Amino acid sequence: MPAILLAACGGGDGGDEAPPPGTDTFSISGTVTAASNVAVDTDTNDPDSVYVSNNTVATAQAIGNPVMVGGFVTATPTFSLSDRFTVTADPDDVYAVDLVAGQTINLEVVNTPTADIDLGLYDGSGALIDTSLGVARFETVTAVASGRYFVRVNAFSGKSNYVLAIGTGVVPASTLRLASEFLPDEAVVQFQEAVVTAAGGVAALGYQVKAGVPDRPMLVSFAGPRTAVADTGSLPEPLAGTHMSPEQAAKLSTLYRIKAMQGRADVRSADPNYVVKAQKTPNDPYYGLQWHYPLINLPQAWDVTTGTPSSGSVVVAVVDTGVLLAHTDLSNNLLRDGAGNVVGYDFISRTTSSNDGDGIDPNANDAGDESTPSSSSWHGTHVSGTVAAGSNNGVGVTGVSWGAKIMPARVIGKGGGSSYDVLQGIRYAAGLSNDSGTLPTKRADIINLSLGCQNCYSAAEQTLFNQVRAAGVIVIAAAGNENSSQLGYPASYDGVVSVSAVDMERKRAPYSNYGGKVDVAAARQQCRWLRRWPSEDLGQQHRRPGLSLLSGYVHGFAAHGRRGRPHEGGTPRTDPG
């Protein structure tokens, strides 16, 4: 609420004494008005304020844009005689506003953690667009197109004042978003309890453990019969005049169940099983077309070292779509065990997306990420070629590090991959326990993640990257190709080196993501890269633009940096210097 303070100084005890003779006196008058971009909820808890209900779409309060709105909601009566809502609840405030595509709406909850206030966004017809269901101080939703919208502030539990900001603010990292892409009826959960009680905790909730063990994050299913205890993911009362699709209802129910699990004392973390996708990019052929190599002084680096260590091998794990193991320009640079077998694993657990007819298995060969091989990206193969394609051999392209060995971990199949499967691939590459029950003969020195998603922060993933970094493994990830400053993951996690792109003029590439979480910018080229259609030779190269291989360049340089100390442990340096 607008306010003005007038202060005066003087002697005495502050009484009403007359001013001394000869002293001039003045009168001050004026009008105090709120700024044009400030508004107030029309049904606050103040019984002395004018009351106008704004609890439904039909009675939505119109607000401007940009705007900051101060308001109040309560899930239950306050039972305070000095309040407006002594004996009635006020769970919803609804606002009508015109938004521009991509504009964010941010909610700051004042009374956390005692209150849990959520944010919803509906289009002009009342169709649900997005919700933000976190339990922390901030919530956010984003408009997908320009037009009229309804914004819902909902008290899930407790009571609180709030500030709703449109056109200002920063999107928070950790919140449950309906707009995020994740698998319904699944969650990645880690319990606080010991091994035995954690497994019992899932069963007691009526849920099922699909994969994992209780001393690390597990994949939990909400599908199937549920007990009354487990049914904590029920939705709040629908907002009158709105609607959602069955798919949205399934996702929303999943988010509310995850929210309920996050509130349990015996749960360390609970996150959606997000869908991750390969960053769309490829690699270049024939060194004459690889202008980006001179731009980053790679020939001079090769004069110093070709990335071949004095002993052993620098191992780069490519956590991606797998690798075409028989590729003529890659097969000699794949990590192999004493028997000559490729060291790698296929961690795609869902047969519907594996494209090879089974779940996890020791064969990391790239079976494609589309229904038909001719439309598949062979993404992991081209990233691997960027890092360590055979060099100085008269074939195809040149890898940045001539002596690196590739460890393929297949986590992306048809339609993408899941964050749980990516966790397993990272754990395997770092030499940590994982769902395969096996470990590589040598853990990776460097892990490449040319994949990701937006609005998909996971506490379990941040914990894992802390472990991986502490083990001495360098993790490098592509920042993303959305031309956005929004945080994408895994590139935005602490301890991960985030790579963006520059063009031939050393300016930010038009597609590259940017922002404070980006650590390194690498030269990008519309380039040829290792790939093959079923009808083509295994040595075929193709041209396409993108960013994934840029993290491959950085991996190649990282392999150069470790060439003489491939077994070095300790905490790696992950700052851009």
Structural domains in the chain (count):
3
Is 540 contained in some domain? yes
- Judge if 98 and 218 occupy the same domain: no
d(CA 154, CA 157): 9
Report DSSP state, residue 20.
Answer: P
d(CA 324, CA 86): 68
Is 162 contained in some domain? yes
d(CA 73, CA 139): 15
Is 225 contained in some domain? yes
CB 152 within 8 A of CB 130: no
- Judge if 162 and 191 occupy the same domain: no
CB 335 within 8 A of CB 405: yes
d(CA 72, CA 40): 9
- Residue that is written with structure tokens 């490449």 in the block: 448
- Judge if 261 and 282 occupy the same domain: no
- Judge if 356 and 444 occupy the same domain: yes
- Judge if 225 and 300 occupy the same domain: no
Is 300 contained in some domain? yes
CB 123 within 8 A of CB 129: yes
Residue where a domain stops, chosen among 243, 265, 287 = 265
Identify the pLDDT of residue 447. Answer: 92
Identify the pLDDT of residue 120. Answer: 96
Q: Which of 427, 408, 452 is nearest to 548 (CA)?
A: 452
Host H or E run for residue 447: strand 446-449
In this structure, the strands spanning 128-132 and 147-157 are unpaired
Task: List the CATH number of the domain containing 457.
Answer: 3.40.50.200
CB 482 within 8 A of CB 142: no
What is the reported pTM? 0.80
Is 571 contained in some domain? no
d(CA 171, CA 161): 20
- Judge if 296 and 395 occupy the same domain: yes
- Judge if 338 and 477 occupy the same domain: yes
d(CA 484, CA 263): 32
d(CA 576, CA 136): 31
In this structure, the strands spanning 67-74 and 38-40 are parallel
* Range(s) of the domain holding residue 525: 277-561
Contacts of 238 (CB under 8 A, 6+ apart): none
Task: List the CATH number of the domain containing 146.
Answer: 2.60.120.380
- Judge if 198 and 63 occupy the same domain: no
279: Cα within 13 Å, side-chain hemisphere: 36
In this structure, the strands spanning 159-166 and 128-132 are unpaired
Identify the pLDDT of residue 522. Answer: 57
- Judge if 381 and 430 occupy the same domain: yes
d(CA 575, CA 49): 53
Backbone dihedral angles phi then psi of residue 550, each to the nearest 5 degrees:
-65, -40
CB 132 within 8 A of CB 141: yes
Q: How many residues are present in the chain?
A: 577
Is 202 contained in some domain? yes
**Cβ-based neighbour number of residue 59 at 10 Å:** 15
For residue 576, give the 3-state DSSP assignment.
coil
Average pLDDT along the chain, 577 residues, taken 10 residues at a time: 40 55 78 78 94 96 95 96 96 97 93 93 97 91 95 96 82 80 95 66 80 90 61 72 94 93 88 89 38 38 44 84 87 91 96 90 91 79 73 46 83 95 98 97 91 91 96 87 80 88 67 73 48 42 43 45 46 43
- From first CA to last CA, the distance across the chain in angstroms is 48
Identify the pLDDT of residue 21. Answer: 74
Is 575 contained in some domain? no
Is 367 contained in some domain? yes
**Cβ-based neighbour number of residue 235 at 10 Å:** 11
- Residue that is written with structure tokens 């606080």 in the block: 192
For residue 260, give the 3-state DSSP assignment.
helix
- Judge if 112 and 69 occupy the same domain: yes
Residue where a domain stops, chosen among 265, 294, 317 = 265
**Cβ-based neighbour number of residue 42 at 10 Å:** 16
d(CA 416, CA 452): 10
- Judge if 219 and 303 occupy the same domain: no
Residue where a domain stops, chosen among 166, 201, 216 = 166
Q: What is the CA radius of gyration of the chain?
A: 28
- Judge if 313 and 187 occupy the same domain: no
